[in-house]
Amino acid sequence: MPELLNLPASALDAYRGAVLSIGRQHPLVEEELEGQLQPLHYPASRHDRAEFLAEHGETIKIAVATAGSGVDAMMLDRLPHLEAVMNFGVGYDAHDVEGLRERNIPLSNTPDVLNECVADTALGLYLDTMRRFSAADRFVRSGKWQEGPFPFSTRAHHRRVGILGLGRIGFDIARRFEALSSEIHYWSRRAKDTPGYTYHATPRELAENVDVLVVAIVGGPETVGLVDAEILSALGERGVVVNIARGSVIDDEALIAALQNRTITAAGLDVFVDEPNVDDRYLELSNTVLYPHVGSATRETREDMARLTLENVRSWVTSQTLVTPV
């Protein structure tokens, strides 16, 4: 495979050894960075990070972070010459965005290339939650079918579906639900030109008017705990929650209580607050479907994300611009 970065000598001279790699990189990103820029690797152990930054912080000019990793406030204070940050993934809430903005340090992410696969995951998680396909698979494998039929599940089509956050991914999710003859309702920061879709002024109003709440809003401080006990109560006892956004958007205590008490019917979750650690109470609930954050985890999409990350690296070190700035 030809080099994707293919950097000129001037860029290599300026940035070799000045790149910080944060988290476990996609093999394509790792190969290209190692081959041309010889990055420094941020320690996985928190215990070693202060010493690492004291030794290398002055030399770092750009940072490349994997999903779930980021440049936080402590790092910013110790990276005085940081010029830009490249984020592998569409979500960037792991970064100190305000701190980057205050220092005029641009941040890129990898939008659009993952929309379709995340939307597929939302639909698959919803169907699995309603029709209990993975539970049916376990039922067959366990030999229980010989003892009697699998319990009835719930019809998935002709539902009122609410999209919490009608952005790029939210639109693709909505299109998939249209194929199930669903009514599409949504809440976003502002109404959009969406003929046939119903806009609601608040998340609570959205929850009051739908059977299914699909959480597709960005993570970060502004949305922490947005889906709380009030929203879940408004959704009601026949309600279903699907979350492919960030675990932080849902109040875990409120959701677990709602599932335990049958305040809502079920939940399908691809994301959690403290991944990969999942609250044990979720594991004990029969009315949940739990995925290990696989929204964009296809070979093709992750390679597209890797290429876009590298395009941003190349663009910055050659022209001081980003292809997909946040």
Chain centroid to CA 170: 12
Given the residues 293, 302, 311, 314, the one annotated as active site = 293
What's the length of the chain?
326
Whether omega for the bond prior to residue 276 falls within 30 degrees of 0, making it cis, is yes
DSSP string, 221-232: GGGTT-B-HHHH
Say if CB 89 and CB 111 are below 8 A apart. Answer: no
Sign of CA dihedral 176, 180, 184, 186: negative
Using alpha carbons only, how large is the chain's radius of gyration in Å? 22
Given the residues 246, 302, 311, 314, the one annotated as active site = 246
Q: Is 26 a catalytic residue?
A: no
Strand partners, 32: none
Q: Is 275 a catalytic residue?
A: yes
Q: Is 31 a catalytic residue?
A: no
Given the residues 58, 102, 275, 300, the one annotated as active site = 275
Distances (CA, A) of 156 to 125, 131, 133, 305: 11, 7, 12, 32
Enzyme catalytic residues: 246, 275, 293
